[in-house]
Amino acid sequence: MKTIAIIGAGPAGIEAASILAAKEETEILLFEKSASTLDNLRDKAFLFPDFSAADDLVEILEAKLNRDNIKLLSGKEVKSVTEQDGGWQLQDAEGTSYTADAVLMTTGYKVFDAHRKEELGYGIYPGVITSIDMEKKIKEGKVLNAVGDTPKKIVFLQCVGSRDEKSGNHYCSKVCCVTAVKQAIELRKLLPEVETYIFYMDLRMWGGGFEEMYRESQEKYGVRYVRGRISEAASTYDGKIQIKSEDTLVGLPLKMSADLLVLMVGMEPSEGTKMLTRQCNCADSYGFATTMNPHLRDNETAQPGLFVAGSCKRPMSLNDTLTDARSAVVKIAEYLR
């Protein structure tokens, strides 16, 4: 019998657990510090690029846990991971110890705290929300402005907490560009009269179908794009949000008022990711996990038997996360062979 400890019951953890558990004589200990699994995914309404319902994927992933040899340990936060006699010992917050033959870290990301960008007014002005807040509103099918009216103009701002010297995050969070395109389309479907603007530095439509979505957002849904960062947001007398920017394509300053300003918040390593990567000497300068080689050994750490997958390594889309989890499974199987 081989025991594999997986830390984090998000998409990567569940996907890896379900495949590893298919092998006989294998037991999976799936740790999740929250009471529920897939917390980040449950906030989503629809997924890019196919606009499938996030709830459907949650249901499918949850069903994958229905195996006797997967032991889901909800509410158990792993506090330490140490190598011991060729195997691994884990300890949770209550001090309970567990042993495993291999460990897979799928501790994931946390959303950038937009309060840190004070100049954008999150937490100060009710008309400033994050992409996570907007996703919840879309999921409820009810999008209102700060004074309870149907919004007429909604502005999205890309790269909040990503590619940003001030917040210290120089990396691209990778999913925000296409998420804004997706949300703008969803808003136009929900509120056909609403004007949507997306302020960007670059639009990185790297994934399959993304560029087509971007094109369709303009041609079919009339989403407008402005190349420029927003320097500040302020509340107007009537509760709208005034933004200042520069349209860098025309080289002119720009000021407009909107009902809602949506901050496309980036990804940062979760607290669990930061703690465990530091503890296991595999943290990069941000706290994401580093691997042996970005091409051929991207699920292995310097410690044999300790593997990583998903957005604990770097910002990653959902489909890349699932693919990466499967890739980690291959490496774990090789290691335990």
Partner 1 sequence: MSEIPKRFWNEYQKEIADDHYFYERSCIRQTFFPGSEAAFLKIMREELGKDIKDEANQHTCTGIGYHSDVVPIETTMTVVARLFSLMTEDGYENYVPSCVTSFGVFTEMVEMWKHDPALLEQARKYLREATGREFELPKNIAHPSDIIFKFRNELKPKMKYQLVNRFTGKPLRAVEHVGCHYAKIFPEKGVGKSEFPHVLSGMIEAWGGEVIDYPERRHCCGFGFRQYLVQENRGYSVANSKKKFESMEPYEPDFILTNCPGCGMFLDKWQYTIAELEHKTYDKDGYGIPVLTYEELTGLLLGYDPWVLGLQLHQVQCETLLNKIGIAYNPDEKYKGVSGKVLSMPDKPTVLKV
Residues in the chain: 337
Residues 6+ apart with CB under 8 A from 225: 197, 198, 200, 203, 218
Nearer to partner 1, 237 or 337 (CB): 237
Q: What is d(CA 92, CA 33) in angstroms, rounded to the nearest whole number?
A: 9
Helix (H) or strand (E) holding 261, with range, is: strand 260-265
CB of 231 to partner 1, least distance (A): 9
Point out which span in 16-24, 209-217, 227-235, 294-302 binds partner 1 (CB under 8 A).
Answer: 227-235
Q: What is d(CA 103, CA 81) in angstroms, rounded to the nearest whole number?
A: 8
Residue choice 88, 125, 199, 288 for contact with partner 1 (CB under 8 A): 125
CB of 194 to partner 1, least distance (A): 19
CB of 249 to partner 1, least distance (A): 24
- HSE (side-chain half, CA atoms, 13 Å) at 64: 24
CB of 79 to partner 1, least distance (A): 31
If binding is defined by CB under 8 A, does position 132 make contact with partner 1?
A: no
Residue 166 corresponds to which tokens in the numbers above?
Answer: 């001030």
If binding is defined by CB under 8 A, does position 252 make contact with partner 1?
A: no
Residue choice 111, 124, 205, 292 for contact with partner 1 (CB under 8 A): 124
Residue choice 59, 119, 202, 247 for contact with partner 1 (CB under 8 A): 119
CB of 180 to partner 1, least distance (A): 24
If binding is defined by CB under 8 A, does position 235 make contact with partner 1?
A: yes
CB atoms closer than 10 angstroms to residue 319:
15
**Phi-psi label, residue 213: left if phi above 0, alpha if psi -120 to 50, beta otherwise:** alpha
CB of 234 to partner 1, least distance (A): 4
Q: At 87, phi and psi to the nearest 5? A: -120, -160
Residues 6+ apart with CB under 8 A from 217: 181, 184, 185, 223
Q: What is d(CA 117, CA 175) in angstroms, rounded to the nearest whole number?
A: 19
Q: What is d(CA 212, CA 205) in angstroms, rounded to the nearest whole number?
A: 9
Residue choice 74, 150, 236, 281 for contact with partner 1 (CB under 8 A): 236
CB of 51 to partner 1, least distance (A): 33
Point out which span in 2-10, 33-41, 67-75, 121-129 binds partner 1 (CB under 8 A).
Answer: 121-129
Nearer to partner 1, 59 or 232 (CB): 232
Identify the CA nearest to 320 among candidates 290, 328, 33.
328
If binding is defined by CB under 8 A, does position 242 make contact with partner 1?
A: yes
Give, as ranges, the residues between 140 and 199 that touch partner 1 (CB under 8 A).
Answer: 146-147
Residue choice 165, 238, 334, 337 for contact with partner 1 (CB under 8 A): 238
Residue choice 91, 92, 126, 292 for contact with partner 1 (CB under 8 A): 126
Where would I find the H helices in the chain?
11-20, 39-42, 54-63, 131-140, 176-190, 210-219, 271-279, 318-336
| DSSP conformation class of 51 | T
If binding is defined by CB under 8 A, does position 239 make contact with partner 1?
A: yes
Binding residues for partner 1, per CB under 8 A?
118-119, 123-126, 146-147, 232, 234-239, 242
